[in-house]
């Protein structure tokens, strides 16, 4: 889903330098067909609000469905560090929707707080894809794990590790969708097998977004179909 305007949902027609029509800050702006020019900070805010709202209102117990509702709302770029929050948030929502009583609002806030600290490009720059860390973060929040935990400390690190192994074996360059699809499935499987979550484990999707990604690895991607 191509990026949409953070204010009015119209199509984004380009980039510009100048004053943000929302907050008055000057800098790089995204311009929509209705004339809004929105800065990166305001785009981030709109995206995080979109993720939160969609997760709270969602009823699906399949984290892929919740994730795709977020993507279809058009507030995340094709490659965007906010996937680091979207993956874990979709898993939290699907877990709640599977019938487990949790304080989803509180957990989504925590997911945003922690996920937004994962740096952009962490996959290639740190060898630590943010979609994978989002799964470790999801399980940490779900289980209340801390650096001093004994029982679940291994589980949350293993969750990130299992995502990393799967996406590493496919190779680069990065794709936030490919890595998110892998992470959602690994997260759902571990939450269900180890922590009794009743969320659905997503089937492998067919990616509809390869035309938006000039770096798509096409035949090397497990989700690519012509």
Which residues of this chain interact with Zn ion, rule CB under 5 A?
A: 5, 7-8, 10, 20, 22-23, 32, 34, 36, 39, 42
CB 39 within 8 A of CB 29: yes
Answer yes or no: are the C-beta atoms of 7 and 25 closer than 8 Å: no
Shortest approach of Zn ion to residue 76 CB, angstroms? 16
Which residues touch 51 (CB under 8 Å, ≥6 apart)? 70, 75, 82, 85, 86, 89, 108, 112
Nearer to Zn ion, 45 or 189 (CB): 45
Cβ 176 to Zn ion shortest distance, Å = 23
Toward Zn ion, which CB reaches closer, 16 or 193? 16
Copy the structure tokens of residue 97. Answer: 């929707």
Q: For residue 140, give every residue at least 6 positions away whose Cβ sits within 8 Å of its Cβ, in sequence order, or none.
A: 114, 152, 156
> What does each C-alpha distance from 22 to 5, 29, 74, 77, 162 come to in angstroms?
12, 11, 18, 19, 41
Q: Determine the length of the chain.
A: 226
> Least distance (Å) from Zn ion to the CB of residue 37?
9
The nearer residue to Zn ion, 26 or 146, going by C-beta atoms, is 26
Q: How far is the CB of 18 from Zn ion (least distance, A)?
A: 11
Residue reference for tokens 């979609």: 131
CB of 10 to Zn ion, least distance (A): 5
CB closer to Zn ion out of 42 and 167: 42
Identity of the residue, 32 or 104, whose beta carbon is nearer to Zn ion in the bound complex: 32
């Amino acid at each position: 889903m191509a990026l949409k305007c953070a204010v009015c949902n119209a199509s984004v027609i380009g980039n510009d330098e100048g004053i943000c029509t929302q907050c008055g800050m000057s800098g790089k702006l995204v311009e929509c067909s209705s004339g809004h020019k929105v800065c990166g900070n305001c785009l981030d805010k709109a995206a995080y609000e979109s993720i939160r709202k969609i997760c709270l209102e969602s009823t699906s117990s399949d984290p892929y469905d919740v994730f795709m509702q977020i993507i279809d709302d058009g507030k995340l770029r094709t490659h965007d560090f906010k996937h680091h929050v979207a993956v874990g948030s979709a898993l939290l929502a699907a877990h709640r929707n599977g019938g487990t009583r949790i304080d989803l609002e509180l957990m989504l806030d925590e997911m945003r707080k922690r996920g937004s600290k994962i740096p952009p490009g962490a996959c290639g720059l740190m060898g630590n894809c943010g979609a994978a860390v989002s799964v470790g973060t999801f399980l940490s929040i779900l289980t209340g794990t801390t650096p001093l935990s004994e029982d679940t400390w291994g589980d949350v690190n293993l969750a990130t590790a299992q995502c990393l192994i799967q996406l590493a074996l496919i190779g680069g360059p990065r794709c936030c969708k490919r890595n998110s699809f892998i992470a959602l499935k690994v997260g759902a499987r571990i939450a269900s097998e180890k922590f009794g979550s009743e969320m659905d484990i997503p089937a492998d999707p067919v990616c509809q977004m390869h035309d938006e990604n000039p770096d798509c690895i096409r035949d090397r991607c497990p989700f690519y179909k012509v």
